[in-house]
Amino acid sequence: MASTVLDSALFRDAFGTPAMRAIFEDAALLARYTEVETALARVQGRLGVIPAQAAKDISAKCDASKLDLGRLKQETEVVGYPILPLVRQLAAQCGDAGKFLHWGATTQDIMDTAVVLQVRDALALIEKDIATLQATLARRAKRYRDTPMAGRTHLQQALPITFGYKLAIWLAMLDRHAERLQQMKSRVLVGQFAGAAGTLASLGDKGMDVQKALCEELRLAQPAATWHAARDGLAEAVNFLGLLTGSLGKIAFDVMLLASTEVAEVAEPFVQGRGASSTMPQKRNPISSELILACAKAVRQHAGLMLDAMVQDLERATGPWHAEWIALPEAFLLAGGALHQAKFMLDGLQVDQARMKKNLEMTHGLIVAEAVMMGLAPHLGRNEAHDAVYGACRVVAERGGTLADALGKVPEVAKHLDRAALERLTDPANYVGAAREMVDRVVGKRG
């Protein structure tokens, strides 16, 4: 029976995706171990390290689907690692050629390289999902380029922005993550074949040739030096997921706040029954955003665990390596789940432009007090303009009315700004600064 949300029949597709699980499930991992073992035999056969016929037999006969999983589980619990029990079964499949299986390798060589192969496939999914989100946000940022709304700082209305500007900020984060992903591939997608203490001593003068050929066979980069106990590559991969899901969490948090009843400027896509409450029929909870935020928090913990696991002793770790077995697959599953929820939520995000306008006008012009101050400053000086506008703001706050009305009754203001000028300055749509240009710059990067 499943015991965590990642493998639960109830929750697994809320916190992960079938595609990402398929990469990290046991059968796939055993297939990767077998792939590395057979690739090693093939290159060693070509280089004359083991008999060519033995290499052919190993490559042809090793079959991960025929493994006795019950026996493999039992022996792994005894040994502490799965490779020795795996090699025993694969060697038996190969007959006499089996004695040349795993030649010159150590357990960590096979496990590390298999994990890198998993990471390569997982990053391909991540990359595709990021590209989908980039396209969605670019399209929607362009659509809402000129839609004014209240910008908020410290959860208070600050100055007007446009919704397209907000979307462009989200998009720019994802652009940077796409760039990071490309840049880290050369550091992360690196093979591992180094032998017992990392020196390839058992293969004599053929060690480096075998390592190079194995990495080429698996389409991985060859390491400059053994990384058995130097774990920055895999730690970088998971910490990249921490950055990515952190950005998704920020987006989700924004959506939750903007979807609150009092604000109601956006809403997650409507699906019958989604986000419903068992006791409050009126509720429409932002479920995707909540799941994204939960995934982001969990990935952050795994990113920290991977950093902790970097502190390894001498040439082979006595425990930190095992922590990676927990952190890495779960981080990828959770990141995949967060991306899945984000794609659904952002593609169908409902935007209430009328509500944005209503909220923008709820302070009766106070949100653009800075605009009036800057309009008056050339005539009165900045400090005097500040004091005049501040006084008018207090009148609006205490007695009601609009900022334009209050300003029109201030002699030193009316002397320099007529009613038309005041209406123009107190129109929030006229004070969004370079928001539109920033949208154009971010969206325009798509070519």
Residues carrying an active site annotation: 154, 277
Query: How many Å apart are CA 267 and CA 261, to the nearest integer?
Result: 10
Radius of gyration from C-alpha coordinates of the chain: 30
Amino acid at 304: G
DSSP-assigned beta bridge partners for residue 156: 153
Q: Using CB atoms within 10 A of its CB, is residue 9 exposed (0-12), middle (13-18) or buried (19+)? A: exposed
Distance CA 355, CA 339 (A): 28
SS3 content of the chain, % helix, strand, coil (to 5): 70, 5, 30
Cα–Cα distances (Å) from 178 to 168, 251, 260, 292, in that order, read 15, 16, 31, 19
For helices 320-347 and 232-258, the axis angle rounded to 10 degrees is 30
Q: What is the DSSP letter of 445?
A: T
Task: Report which of 373, 433, 382 is spatially closest to residue 407, judged by C-alpha positions.
Answer: 373
Q: Which residues pair with 221 in a beta bridge?
A: 190
Place of tokens 């400027």: 265
**Is residue 57 within 8 Å of 100, Cβ to Cβ?**
no
Question: Token digits for 429?
Answer: 């749509």
User: Three-class SS of residue 284?
Assistant: coil
- The position carrying tokens 């029929």 is 281
| E strand or H helix that includes residue 178 | helix 163-188
Beta strands 266-267 and 350-351, pairing class: antiparallel
Distance of CA 158 to the CA centre of its chain: 29
CA distances from 364 to 244, 260, 400 (A): 39, 22, 8
Amino acid making up residue 118: Q
CA distance 341 to 344: 5
